[in-house]
């Protein structure tokens, strides 16, 4: 698929995996709108990328911006939505567990208000996460939300086919601004969390973005999840 002149909208497109996706789409000639709550933090972006402010949890705002940007050829959301809960499930604060689903509600808003503005033959792409299908202790919230994202993606893909394709890309541990700690602590964290993967390092945001570009461009791919995880799913426990 030639992306020149295609209109792309990337929620979460101002940081990490979303930003890398915006950059790849723009490099391929798409006109990209990268959206988040504080898009200024993305700094200077190349021609072809415009930033806009919107919170994916604000239904009215999501509806309004998608109506304004219509028609959209490529709709992507990577927006984390809010905070996520880590740690043993039996000790977890249940409000924190519930809040982890903000990612799902944000994705649901983008799909529900966005699908009608996606042009025929267009696509919607979501980002889930490797714990959806192979989790470690302490990752129940990530696993639950990721699994729900993938299940929603498959169910929606069936409903909107064949007009729109819907897919997910599932990252493993990826080095993005989502992790706040820096320096030696950051290196140690990534070393520890990836040591049992087939490829024992954190992935780069652009490696995940390449997976996102694959599902956008391949017109025979829908209702599926592409794993970009360094072999997380096959790792030793
Ligand atoms: N990095 C990893 O290791 C990893 C692993 C598995 C899955 N994932 C998934 O990959 C996706 C992208 O993560 P990332 O690592 O690229 O994170 P990131 O660098 O923190 O980027 C997240 C983006 O989402 C936006 N966002 C968050 N909440 C939002 C809201 N309520 N409304 C609008 N925009 C919002 C943020 O911008 P603002 O703060 O300006 O709103 C930011 O642009 C997420 O769904 C994450 O769960 C990441």
Q: What is the pLDDT of residues 127-174, one digit of tens each?
A: 999 999 999 999 999 999 999 999 999 999 999 999 999 999 999 999
The residues facing 225 across adjacent strands are: 168
Distance of CA 201 to the CA centre of its chain: 20
CA of 134 from ligand 1 middle (Å) equals: 20
Does residue 79 fall inside a structural domain? yes
Give how many domains the chain has, as a whole number.
1
Could you tell me the CATH number of the domain that includes residue 162? 3.40.50.720
pLDDT score of 215 more than 90: yes
Enter the pTM of the model. 0.98
Does residue 236 fall inside a structural domain? no
pLDDT score of 110 more than 80: yes
Peptide bond into 62 cis (omega under 30): no
Does residue 218 fall inside a structural domain? yes
Q: How confident is the model at residue 222 (pLDDT cuts 50, 70, 90)?
A: very high
> What is the rounded CA–CA span in Å between residue 56 and residue 77?
9
Phi, psi of 166 (to 5 degrees): -130, 130
Tell the residue nearest (CA) to atom 47 of ligand 1: 80
Does residue 237 fall inside a structural domain? no
pLDDT of the residue at 216? 98
User: Does the Cβ of 81 fall within 6 Å of ligand 1?
Assistant: yes
CA of 118 from ligand 1 middle (Å) equals: 22
Parent domain of 116: 7-225
pLDDT of the residue at 46? 96
CA of 78 from ligand 1 middle (Å) equals: 6
Residue 44 CB contacts under 8 Å (≥ 6 apart), including other chains: none
Does residue 233 fall inside a structural domain? no
pLDDT of the residue at 61? 98
User: Does the Cβ of 171 fall within 6 Å of ligand 1?
Assistant: yes
Does residue 235 fall inside a structural domain? no
pLDDT score of 236 more than 90: no
User: Does the Cβ of 53 fall within 6 Å of ligand 1?
Assistant: no
Does residue 50 fall inside a structural domain? yes
Does residue 78 fall inside a structural domain? yes
Q: What is the mean pLDDT of the chain?
A: 97
CA of 33 from ligand 1 middle (Å) equals: 16
Tens digits of residue pLDDT in 170-198: 999 999 999 999 999 999 999 999 999 99
């Amino acid at each position: 698929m030639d992306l020149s002149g295609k209109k792309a909208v990337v929620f979460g497109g101002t940081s990490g995996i979303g930003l890398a996706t915006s950059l790849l789409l723009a490099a391929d000639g798409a006109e990209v709108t990268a959206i988040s709550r504080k898009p200024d933090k993305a700094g200077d972006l190349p021609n072809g990328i415009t930033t806009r402010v919107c919170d994916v949890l604000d239904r009215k705002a999501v509806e309004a911006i998608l109506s304004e940007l219509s028609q959209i050829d490529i709709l992507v959301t990577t927006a984390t939505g809010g905070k996520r809960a880590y740690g043993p499930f039996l000790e977890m604060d249940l409000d924190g567990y519930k809040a982890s689903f903000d990612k799902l509600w944000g994705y649901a808003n983008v799909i529900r208000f966005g699908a009608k503005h996606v042009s025929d033959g267009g696509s919607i792409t979501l980002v889930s996460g490797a714990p959806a299908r192979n989790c470690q202790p302490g990752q129940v919230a990530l696993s639950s939300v990721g699994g729900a994202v993938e299940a929603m993606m498959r169910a929606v893909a069936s409903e909107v086919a064949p007009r729109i394709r819907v897919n997910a890309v599932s990252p493993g541990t990826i080095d993005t601004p989502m992790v706040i700690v820096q320096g030696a602590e950051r290196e140690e964290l990534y070393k520890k969390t990836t040591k049992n993967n087939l490829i024992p390092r954190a992935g780069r945001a652009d490696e995940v973005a390449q997976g996102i570009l694959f599902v956008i461009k391949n017109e025979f791919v829908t209702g599926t999840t592409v794993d970009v995880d360094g072999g997380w799913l096959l790792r030793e426990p």
